[in-house]
Structure 1
């Protein structure tokens, strides 16, 4: 799996970061909810777009790994990551 060179972007409503990963030679559109970035990646609630994207970039490897696992469970579907995808399972 690799994250494409295309830049991640903040969704028009500001509630998610949109990015693409390549999994098994297939591009998969992914999003991670801003709430997940706030809860699991220490994004301040009042962060601007630049800070949101910097926080995403800092957590990119972990985020991409979770996106890959979720894509393998639900192949052919866009991946929508939320806080529950990063919660510790017990």
Structure 2
């Protein structure tokens, strides 16, 4: 899977980071919530935009891997990653 437009942006209200993924079929808009970044990627509570983007960059590989799995499961829907997507499913 290729990243089409990997310029992540923080939403106006700071509740999520949006980015796009693409594959052979097309592209999809993706987002990861602030709560997921705080719970699984060590984003400090109340962190600003720069810190959010840094945290996203640091966790990029894991975030993209989960987004890709979700995109393949529901190719016709936007991908919204929440804390539930990162739970340890042993």
TM (norm. structure 1) is 0.93
How many pairs align? 90
> Which runs of structure 1 show a deviation greater than 6 angstroms over 4 or more consecutive aligned residues?
none
Q: Secondary structure at the match of 2:12?
A: coil
The Cα RMSD (Å) is 1.2
Offset of 1:13 from its aligned partner?
A: 1.2
Unaligned runs of 5+ in 2: none
Q: Write 1 or 2 for the structure with the bigger share of strand.
A: 1
Deviations, residues 7-57 of structure 1 (Å, cap 9, x unaligned): 100011110000011123411100000000000000001211000001001
Structure 1: segments with no counterpart, 5+ residues:
none
Q: TM-score, normalised by structure 2?
A: 0.93
CA contact (8 A) 2:29 2:78 kept: yes
